[in-house]
Amino acid sequence: MTALDLVYYGNTVRAWLVAAAVAAGALAGLRVAQAVLLRRLAAADRTPTELDDLAADLVRRTRPLFLLLLALSAGAYALELPPRADRLLGVAVMLTVLLQAGAWGSAFIGFFLTRQLRRQLEQDAAAATAMAAFGFLGRLALWTLLLVVALSNLGVNITALVAGLGVGGIAVALAVQNILGDLFASFTIVLDKPFVIGDFIVVGEQAGTVEHIGLKTTRVRSLSGEQIIFANTDLLTSRVRNFKRMYERRVVFTVGVTYQTPLEKVEAIPGMLREIVEARPLARFDRAHFKAYGEFALVFEVVYFVRDPSFNVYMDVQQAINLEIGRRFAAEGIEFAYPTQTIYLARGEPAG
Which domain CATH number covers 222? 2.30.30.60
Residue 71 belongs to domain spanning? 3-154
**Pair (196, 113) in one structural domain:** no
What's at 189, amino acid-wise?
A: I
* Burial 232-247, CB ≥16 within 10 A → b, else e: bbebbeeeeeebeeee
Q: What is the pLDDT of residues 305-330, one digit of tens each?
A: 999 888 889 999 999 999 999 999 99
The domain boundary, picked from 215, 244, 273, lies at 244
What's at 349, amino acid-wise?
A: E
Please report whether residue 159 resides in a domain.
Answer: no
**Pair (140, 51) in one structural domain:** yes
Please report whether residue 352 resides in a domain.
Answer: no
What confidence score (pLDDT) does residue 320 get?
Answer: 96
Q: What string of DSSP letters covers 167-200?
A: HHHHHHHHHTHHHHHHHHHHHHHHHH-SS-TT-E
What confidence score (pLDDT) does residue 116 get?
Answer: 65
Q: What string of DSSP letters covers 38-64?
A: HHHHHHGGGSS-SHHHHHHHHHHT--H
What confidence score (pLDDT) does residue 279 get?
Answer: 94
Domain total in the chain: 3
What confidence score (pLDDT) does residue 48 get?
Answer: 59
Please report whether residue 77 resides in a domain.
Answer: yes
**Pair (240, 254) in one structural domain:** no
**Pair (233, 324) in one structural domain:** no
**185 strand-pairing partners:** none
> What dihedral angle (degrees, nearest 10) is formed by the CA atoms of 5, 9, 15, 21?
-130
- The rounded distance, in Å, linking the Cα atoms of 131 and 101 is 22
Positions of the chain with pLDDT lower than 70, given as ranges: 1, 3-11, 43-50, 52, 115-133, 158, 160-180, 348-352
Burial of 342 (0-12, 13-18, 19+ CB in 10 A): exposed
**Pair (262, 311) in one structural domain:** yes
Burial of 90 (0-12, 13-18, 19+ CB in 10 A): middle
**Pair (31, 150) in one structural domain:** yes
- The rounded distance, in Å, linking the Cα atoms of 308 and 247 is 7
Contact between 144 and 169 under an 8 Å Cβ cutoff? The reply is no
**Pair (8, 146) in one structural domain:** yes
Please report whether residue 343 resides in a domain.
Answer: no
What confidence score (pLDDT) does residue 169 get?
Answer: 60
User: Maximum distance among all alpha carbons in the chain?
Assistant: 167
What confidence score (pLDDT) does residue 255 get?
Answer: 95
Q: List the 283-293 sheet strands across, edge first.
A: 249-257, 298-306, 283-293
